[in-house]
Amino acid sequence: MPQNAFHPGRPWLDLDGEPINAHGGGVLFHGGQYYWYGEARPRGPSNQDARIGVSCYRSEDLYHWKSLGIALKVVEDESHPLVSGCKIERPKVIYNAKTGKFVMWWHHDRKGWGHAGALAGVAVSDSPQGPFTFVEVLQPNGRMFRDCTVFMDVDGAAYLVFASDANANLVFCRLDDTFTKPTGIQCTQFHGRYMEAPCVFHHEGRYYFLGSDCTGWAPNEARSAVAPALFADWKELGNPCLGEGSETTFGAQSTFVLPVAGKPGRFIFMADRWVPEDLAASTYVWLPIEFRKVPGREAPRPFIRWADSWSL
């Protein structure tokens, strides 16, 4: 296998030779390094509850990842929201230059509640690899909070984007200046479209959305959309995937769109190929995003096609 290449859907080992354990994750670029955060899942069955926490890996080139350990750990204290057995899903981290803090958000559910509580979790750290200190769990402006991402806009403002209203709608909610609290500035989008796995990115003056349908751990057809501003009306652009496997997002579900540092216009679509009976065995599908003008449409459309292996 070529060293400097991505091999979507195949086992991916870290620099210690262990399978990378960072599911439903996202990547932060900071200080010339990439940091990949994700759900650390124990091996074996019945691991749909958080038993470890959120892992962190570091890379300079996006191909080779060093494990930095667990950035946010579950605890044994039954009275604490982070007690082992709670749910910690889809963690995302952003850096706040004003406070010098790294801020993690995730979908949280209390132990024994399944996904019924629909909470957001927030934690902060002075360094990218943690340890992150738990701040609180909450429902932003009283809204249910499930699949989520955090997006930093070109003007430095940050937004939570999350599945709400029993997954029927997506909410965009601006964070305060510390990125640790929601403000009341929010809008509801994609009414009744049951979008999960939201990803937001900015390209050539437009905002793009990639996400999924809502079918549990089973893969489904991906969604894409474009808007001139985050709070404008989003226009759906259909399934961005092309070719064989496109109707199931190549057996995977989106988790993040990663802008490649120093390469404007290059984005990596990050997705999870879930193995629900053994979530730790889930693999990663990373593919390049292409943009193409489509007749009759002003904005270029994002497309994703399968590659057995590929390089930047």
> Which residues contact ligand DGJ by CB under 6 A?
24, 89-90, 147, 196-197, 216-217, 253
41 or 90, CB closer to ligand DGJ? 90
> Is residue 160 within 8 Å of 105, Cβ to Cβ?
yes
CA dist., res. 144 & res. 206, Å (int): 28
CA pair distance 263, 283, nearest whole angstrom: 26
Q: Which is nearer to ligand DGJ, 14 or 147 (CB)?
A: 147
User: What is the spatial distance between Cα 101 and Cα 95, in angstroms, rounded to a whole number?
Assistant: 6
- Nearer CB in complex with ligand DGJ: 101/108: 108
Cα R_g (the chain), whole angstroms: 18
> 58 or 143, CB closer to ligand DGJ?
143
The DSSP 8-state label assigned to residue 18 in this structure reads: P
Closest contact distance (angstroms) between CB of 197 and ligand DGJ is 5
Q: Which is nearer to ligand DGJ, 7 or 90 (CB)?
A: 90
Minimum distance, C-beta of residue 124 to ligand DGJ, in the bound complex (Å): 23
Least distance in Å: CB of 154 to ligand DGJ?
27
What's at 250, amino acid-wise?
F
| Smallest distance, ligand DGJ to C-beta of residue 165, A | 16
Closest separation in Å from C-beta 254 to ligand DGJ? 9
In whole angstroms, the minimum distance from the beta carbon of 90 to ligand DGJ comes to: 5
**Three-state DSSP class for 94?**
strand
Nearest position to ligand DGJ, beta carbon? 216
Residue 151 zone, left/alpha/beta (φ > 0; ψ -120 to 50; rest):
beta
Answer yes or no: are the C-beta atoms of 60 and 34 closer than 8 Å.
Answer: yes
CA dihedral 107, 214, 170, 242 (to 10 degrees): 110
Q: Cβ 132 to ligand DGJ, closest distance in Å?
A: 20
Choose between 88 and 287: whose C-beta lies nearer to ligand DGJ. 88
| CA distance between the termini of the chain | 16
CA dihedral 232, 238, 242, 247 (to 10 degrees): 130
Between residues 115 and 305, which has the closer beta carbon with respect to ligand DGJ?
115
CB 308, CB 8: distance < 8 Å: yes
